[in-house]
Amino acid sequence: MSFQWPELLWCLLLVPLLVLLYLWLLRRRRKSTVRFASVALVKQALGQGPTWRRHVPPAVLLLAVTVLIVAAARPMARIKLPSQQETIILAMDVSGSMRATDVQPNRLVASQEAAKSFVSALPRGVRVGVVSFAGTAAVVQAPTLSRDDVVAAIDRFQLQRGTAIGSGLVLSLATLFPDEGIDLSQITGQRAMPGEKKKEPKKPFTPVEPGSYNTAAVILLTDGQRTTGPDPMEAAKMAAERGIKVYTVGIGTKAGETIGFEGWSMRVRLDEDTLKAIANITRANYFYAGTADDLKQVYQGLSSRLVVETRETEVSALFAAAGALLALLASGLSVWWFGRMM
């Protein structure tokens, strides 16, 4: 535990002084009793019952003072709290290499099933959007609270040629920041009409600390082999400048396999270096999924990571409440036992 105002802890030195003051008052009270002519009168004045009771309310009050001093120092503790991330974009690879069967039944089906399980485990208040990418990228589901719509969008995936990881990232950012005027002409494959003006950002863009945007995140699932589109590292820098964390999930085996389709064949293997670099730039994490079971565990881990965060949080309110309750308890005991306040 740490404190924002640790200087106030010096006030705890007052606690032993208060103890000494209390002992002094007790001694003074005993000396004053010798003035009474009869010991019986003294006992009658003090009342009946165990003598230890008269020390309990002051002790509880002293504890309350101690707790309130700690509260004034503004203690900080690392506790688990619900994440503030309210929008998650699933950027999923639908390129031809995802037909590889090194992950059963194949990479695409395994990723679809794991993604749907991940979405169903998210809190209802988290919006989810889906971006698919191959040679180009497309928003197959805008951010929504409807889990049925997200699942339906994932089920509609169809394999295409090319792998434009950078396109998937840029379109994910444009989905999260629609007012920034991000140029998508090279991303979606759609070109501007003649005479059409380029969309200007409504707000000036100012780079922020990487990983500092806490209300959204991107989860990128791919085998990491880029064949076309913008440089994924440049797209990752765009995400970092906007504070967006990009969690990358590598699907497939490191050895890969050779796949064939319509008379052509190619060797597809996982490019971990690119995915690790993207996660590192954006202050996120890379996860390896070599099998379908690994992929499910990765998504379960991401759900926990995105939904619950361990953060240093001020807990002075808890200490203040405890101190107030202790003070009330001390007063209540004094009135109950002795019919008066201390």
pLDDT band at 191 (very low <50, low <70, confident <90, very high): very low
Averaged pLDDT for residues 155-182 = 90
Residue 85 pLDDT: 62
- DSSP label at residue 160: B
Span 258-277, mean pLDDT? 70
Domains and CATH numbers, the chain: 2-79+314-338 (no CATH), 83-290 (3.40.50.410)
- What pLDDT, on the 0 to 100 scale, is given for residue 178? 87
Average pLDDT over residues 292-310: 74
Structure pTM? Answer: 0.65
* Cβ atoms of 307 and 214 closer than 8 Å: no
Question: Longest Cα pair distance anywhere in the chain, in angstroms?
Answer: 119
> pLDDT tens, 6-17?
888 888 888 888
Q: What is the pLDDT of residue 298?
A: 77
Average pLDDT, the chain: 81
Tell me what the mean pLDDT of segment 176-199 comes to: 63
d(CA 73, CA 336): 33
Q: What values do phi and psi take at 2, rounded to 5?
A: -120, 170
Mean pLDDT value of segment 123-148: 92
Please compute the mean of the pLDDT values over residues 292-317 and round it to a whole number.
Answer: 75
**18, containing H or E segment:** helix 14-32
What confidence tens digit (pLDDT) does each residue in 63-91 have? 988 998 898 888 888 776 666 668 999 99
pLDDT of residue 239: 95
Residue 248 has pLDDT above 80, yes or no: yes
Of 114-123, 274-283, 287-296, where does mean pLDDT reach its minimum? 287-296
Determine what percent of the chain is predicted with pLDDT higher than 70.
Answer: 78
Give the pLDDT mean for 136-155: 95
What's the distance, Cα to Cα, between the start and end of the chain in Å? Answer: 34
Q: Which of 197, 284, 189, 191 is nearest to 246 (CA)?
A: 284
Q: What radius of gyration do the chain's Cα atoms show?
A: 33
pLDDT of residue 327: 84
Please give the structure tokens belonging to residue 23: 């002992």
What per-residue confidence (pLDDT) applies to 182?
A: 82
How far apart CA 219 and CA 116 sit, in angstroms, is: 13
Q: What is the mean pLDDT of residues 110-138?
A: 90
How does strand 87-93 pair with strand 127-133? parallel
d(CA 301, CA 303): 5
Question: Residue 262: is its pLDDT beyond 80?
Answer: no
Nearest CA to 44 among 55, 52, 32, 33? Answer: 33
The answer to whether 224 touches 270, Cβ cutoff 8 Å, is yes
Q: Provide the token pair at 227.
A: 């064949």
* Confidence at 170, pLDDT banded by 50, 70, 90: very high
| Residue with the larger pLDDT of the pair 83 and 313 | 313
Quick: pLDDT tens for 12-51. 888 888 888 878 877 777 666 555 545 555 555 554 445 7
- pLDDT for 192 equals 44
Q: How far apart are CA 145 and CA 190, in angstroms?
A: 28
**DSSP-assigned states of every residue in 97-153:** GGG-SSSSS-HHHHHHHHHHHHHHHS-TT-EEEEEEESSSEEEEEEEES-HHHHHHH
pLDDT higher than 90, residue 219: yes
**Cα 131 to the center of its chain, rounded Å:** 22
% of residues, the chain, pLDDT over 90: 27
